[in-house]
Amino acid sequence: MSARPLIIDCDPGQDDAVALLLAFASAEELDLLGVTAVAGNVPLARTESNARRIRDLAGRPEVPVYAGCPRPMVREPVSAEYVHGSTGIDGADLPEPSRPAEPAHAVDFLVDALKAAVEPITLATLGPLTNVALAIVKEPAILANVREIVTMGGAIGLGNVTPAAEFNIHADPHAAHVVFEAGVPLTMIGLDVTHQAIATPPRLEAIRALGTAPAAAVCGMLDLYGARNLATYDHGAPMHDPCVVAYLLAPGLFEGRAMRVDVELGAGHCFGRTVCDLHGRSGAGANAHVLERVDADGFFAMLTERLARLPAVPI
Ligand code: RIB
Ligand code: CA
C-alpha cells in the first residue's frame, strides 16, 4: 500500500513532539509533505522552532516546516506554558534547529499543497485550528483535495482548560467552527479517548529502555507532562496528540461513532465546548466520526516499536 500523503499541523508542545516522532518514524505508511506550526501551547516562535528541533532529533531533515498563525482568529490568545514549560518541550533538552523554517506562510503552504495535490491529502491537526481554518477561508476549493481531517480536540464529556472546553478548541473556537462545518470527512479525537492512553511508569520504562536519544527526549518530556497532569487528574500523561498519528497508522486500535458536533461560540461557561450529539437529539446530520475508545496497550506497543526505528543519536 502506498504511503498516505499527510500534512501535520501542530503546536509543540510535549505531546505534539511525541506525535511528530511517531510520524517521522513511519515513513512507509505516512508521506509527510510538511509540518505546519501554529501558536497554541506556547507562542509561534517556539512551536515552529520546536517542530524543527524534533525534525532534527528524528533524522528527517527533508520534511519542510512552515510557521503559521501567531494568534487565533477572533478571541484573545491563550497558551499552556503551565503544562508544557516555557520552551514548550521542557524535558527534551534539544539543540538549536539545524536549518530554518520555509519562507512560505503555513496557510499558503496548505493552500498551495492542496491545490496541487494529485492524490487527496490527509490533514492531522494537533493544536488550535487557526492555520487550517484560514486556509479553508482563503481558498475553499482546497476542500476537494482533502482526504480527511483527523483532529485532536474537544470532548464528549468535560474539558481540560475549562470545565467545559478542551484546549485546542478553546484556544480558537471560531477556527474549530470553520473546520467542523467544512463538510469533509472529519475524525475527532477528544479527551474521552486520549485520557485512556496514559503514559504509566511501566509504559515509560519500556520506552526509556530503548536507550536512544529520541527515547530519552520522549521520557524527559512525559515525566514532566505526567507530573503536571497528576496535579489535576489521578493519572500521568495522556497521549493526546500521538493518538492522532496512531489512528492513521492503526485505526483498528480505536472505536467511535458518527455524530453531530457543534462548537459553542457564545460567551459564558461553555465557550469553546464541543457539543457532541451522542444520542441524535438535534436531528442534525453527523459531521464527525468521534472516537470513544482506544486499546491503550496496543497503542503503547506500537509507539514503542516505532520510536525504536528512529536514529539512536541525531544524525
Ligand atoms: O488538550 C490537549 C491538546 O492541547 C493537545 O494537543 C496539547 O498539545 C494541547 O495542544
Ligand atoms: Ca498539541
Q: Nearest ligand, CA of residue 153?
A: 1
Q: In the chain, what are the domains? A: 4-307 (3.90.245.10)
Pocket of ligand 1 contains residue 240 by CB under 6 Å:
yes
Pocket of ligand 1 contains residue 40 by CB under 6 Å:
yes
pLDDT tens-digit map of 208-238: 999 999 999 999 999 999 999 888 888 899 9
Catalytic site positions: 240
Instruction: Identify the weakest region by mean pLDDT among 57-71, 157-171, 224-238, 278-292.
Output: 224-238
Banded model confidence at residue 1, pLDDT cuts 50, 70, 90? confident
Atom of ligand 1 nearest to the CA of 160: 1
d(Cα 100, Cα 51) in Å, to the nearest integer?
11
Q: Which of 147, 131, 165 is nearest to 31 (CA)?
A: 147
Q: Nearest ligand, CA of residue 172?
A: 1
Atom of ligand 1 nearest to the CA of 167: 1
Cell, residue 83: 503544562
Q: Which 3-state string (H, E, C) describes the chain? A: CCCEEEEEEECCCHHHHHHHHHHHCCCCCEEEEEEEECCCCCCHHHHHHHHHHHHHHHCCCCCCEEECCCCCCCCCCCCCHHHHCCCCCCCCCCCCCCCCCCCCCHHHHHHHHHHHCCCCEEEEECCCCHHHHHHHHHCHHHHHHEEEEEEECCCCCCCCCCCCCCHHHHHCHHHHHHHHCCCCCEEEECHHHHCCCEECHHHHHHHHCCCCHHHHHHHHHHHHHHHHHHCCCCCCEECHHHHHHHHHHCHHHEEEEEECEEECCCCCCCCCCEEECCCCCCCCCCCEEEEEEECHHHHHHHHHHHHCCCCCCCC
**Most distant CA pair in the chain, distance:** 54
**Percent of the chain whose pLDDT exceeds 70:** 100
Pocket of ligand 1 contains residue 172 by CB under 6 Å:
no
Pocket of ligand 1 contains residue 194 by CB under 6 Å:
no
Give residue 84 CA to ligand 2 midpoint distance, Å.
10
Q: Which long-range contacts (CB under 8 A, 24 or more apart) does 93-98 make?
A: 93/217, 93/220, 94/50, 94/53, 94/54, 94/56, 94/57, 94/217, 95/53, 95/56, 95/314, 96/53, 97/49, 97/52, 97/53, 97/55, 97/56, 98/52, 98/56, 98/61
Q: Nearest ligand, CA of residue 168?
A: 1
Which of 156, 162, 166, 167 should be mutated for ligand 1, with most atoms under 8 A from CB? 167
Pocket of ligand 1 contains residue 128 by CB under 6 Å:
no
pLDDT tens-digit map of 26-79: 999 999 999 999 999 999 999 999 999 999 999 999 999 999 999 999 999 999
Say how far residue 18 (Cα) sits from the centre of its chain.
Answer: 10
Give residue 274 CA to ligand 2 midpoint distance, Å.
17
What is the residue with the minimal CA distance to atom 10 of ligand 1?
Answer: 127
For residue 315, pLDDT over 80 is answered with no
Give residue 240 CA to ligand 1 midpoint distance, Å.
6
For residue 127, pLDDT over 90 is answered with yes
Q: How distant, in Å, are the alpha carbons of 10, 19, 59, 115, 126 from that of 102?
A: 16, 21, 18, 18, 20
Pocket of ligand 1 contains residue 152 by CB under 6 Å:
yes
User: What is the pLDDT, as a whole number, of residue 314?
Assistant: 80
